[in-house]
Protein backbone atom coordinates (compact mmCIF):
# COMPACT_ATOMS: atom_id res chain seq x y z
CA UNK A 1 0.00 0.00 0.00
CA UNK A 2 1.28 3.43 -0.91
CA UNK A 3 0.04 6.35 1.17
CA UNK A 4 -0.18 9.71 -0.53
CA UNK A 5 -0.58 12.75 1.69
CA UNK A 6 -1.35 16.09 0.12
CA UNK A 7 -1.47 19.48 1.76
CA UNK A 8 -2.27 22.70 -0.04
CA UNK A 9 -1.25 25.89 1.70
CA UNK A 10 -0.68 29.51 0.77
CA UNK A 11 2.31 31.20 2.27
CA UNK A 12 3.26 34.82 2.60
CA UNK A 13 6.66 35.75 1.18
CA UNK A 14 8.10 35.53 4.71
CA UNK A 15 6.44 32.14 5.21
CA UNK A 16 7.81 30.87 1.90
CA UNK A 17 11.31 32.02 2.84
CA UNK A 18 11.05 30.25 6.20
CA UNK A 19 9.75 27.10 4.49
CA UNK A 20 12.68 27.07 2.04
CA UNK A 21 15.04 27.51 4.96
CA UNK A 22 13.74 24.78 7.30
CA UNK A 23 12.11 22.18 5.03
CA UNK A 24 15.35 20.45 3.93
CA UNK A 25 16.36 20.12 7.59
CA UNK A 26 12.97 18.67 8.56
CA UNK A 27 13.21 16.10 5.75
CA UNK A 28 16.73 15.17 6.88
CA UNK A 29 15.57 14.70 10.49
CA UNK A 30 12.59 12.57 9.42
CA UNK A 31 14.84 10.37 7.30
CA UNK A 32 17.27 9.96 10.18
CA UNK A 33 14.47 8.93 12.55
CA UNK A 34 13.01 6.48 10.02
CA UNK A 35 16.44 4.98 9.34
CA UNK A 36 16.02 3.02 12.58
CA UNK A 37 13.42 0.92 10.73
CA UNK A 38 14.04 -1.34 7.78
CA UNK A 39 11.81 -1.03 4.69
CA UNK A 40 9.31 -3.63 5.90
CA UNK A 41 9.02 -1.92 9.31
CA UNK A 42 8.51 1.46 7.62
CA UNK A 43 5.70 -0.01 5.52
CA UNK A 44 4.13 -1.54 8.63
CA UNK A 45 4.37 1.80 10.45
CA UNK A 46 2.73 3.62 7.52
CA UNK A 47 -0.03 1.01 7.41
CA UNK A 48 -0.68 1.24 11.15
CA UNK A 49 -0.73 5.05 11.08
CA UNK A 50 -3.18 5.01 8.18
CA UNK A 51 -5.48 2.58 10.01
CA UNK A 52 -5.38 4.79 13.09
CA UNK A 53 -6.12 7.91 11.05
CA UNK A 54 -9.09 6.22 9.36
CA UNK A 55 -10.38 5.00 12.72
CA UNK A 56 -10.03 8.50 14.20
CA UNK A 57 -12.16 9.83 11.34
CA UNK A 58 -14.76 7.13 11.95
CA UNK A 59 -14.86 7.96 15.66
CA UNK A 60 -15.38 11.64 14.85
CA UNK A 61 -18.00 10.78 12.19
CA UNK A 62 -19.87 8.59 14.67
CA UNK A 63 -20.22 11.51 17.07
CA UNK A 64 -17.86 10.37 19.81
CA UNK A 65 -15.95 13.63 19.34
CA UNK A 66 -18.12 16.64 18.66
CA UNK A 67 -15.35 19.21 18.20
CA UNK A 68 -11.63 19.57 18.53
CA UNK A 69 -9.16 22.40 18.92
CA UNK A 70 -7.53 22.92 15.53
CA UNK A 71 -4.12 24.20 16.51
CA UNK A 72 -3.42 25.34 12.95
CA UNK A 73 -6.38 27.72 13.21
CA UNK A 74 -5.39 29.24 16.53
CA UNK A 75 -6.89 26.57 18.76
CA UNK A 76 -10.53 27.43 18.15
CA UNK A 77 -13.19 24.73 18.31
CA UNK A 78 -14.22 24.06 14.74
CA UNK A 79 -15.61 20.75 13.54
CA UNK A 80 -14.71 19.71 9.99
CA UNK A 81 -17.14 17.63 7.94
CA UNK A 82 -16.37 13.93 7.78
CA UNK A 83 -18.40 12.31 5.05
CA UNK A 84 -18.43 8.86 3.47
CA UNK A 85 -16.49 10.00 0.39
CA UNK A 86 -13.70 11.33 2.59
CA UNK A 87 -13.55 8.07 4.54
CA UNK A 88 -13.50 6.08 1.30
CA UNK A 89 -10.46 8.07 0.15
CA UNK A 90 -8.79 7.40 3.47
CA UNK A 91 -9.48 3.68 3.31
CA UNK A 92 -8.11 3.62 -0.26
CA UNK A 93 -4.83 5.02 1.03
CA UNK A 94 -5.26 8.57 -0.21
CA UNK A 95 -5.47 10.79 2.84
CA UNK A 96 -6.21 14.45 2.23
CA UNK A 97 -4.84 16.62 5.00
CA UNK A 98 -7.08 19.47 6.08
What per-residue confidence (pLDDT) applies to 44? 94
- C-alpha count within 13 angstroms, C-beta hemisphere, residue 26: 6
What per-residue confidence (pLDDT) applies to 84? 64
What per-residue confidence (pLDDT) applies to 29? 95
What per-residue confidence (pLDDT) applies to 35? 96
What per-residue confidence (pLDDT) applies to 21? 93
Longest dimension (CA), the chain: 41
What per-residue confidence (pLDDT) applies to 62? 86
95 - beta bridge partners? 5
Average pLDDT for consecutive 10-residue bins of the chain (98 residues)?
67 90 93 95 92 87 72 56 63 55
What per-residue confidence (pLDDT) applies to 41? 95
Amino acid sequence: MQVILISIVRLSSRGAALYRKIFPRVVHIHREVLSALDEHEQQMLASCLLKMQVRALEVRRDGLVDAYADRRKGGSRRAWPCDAAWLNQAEAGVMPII
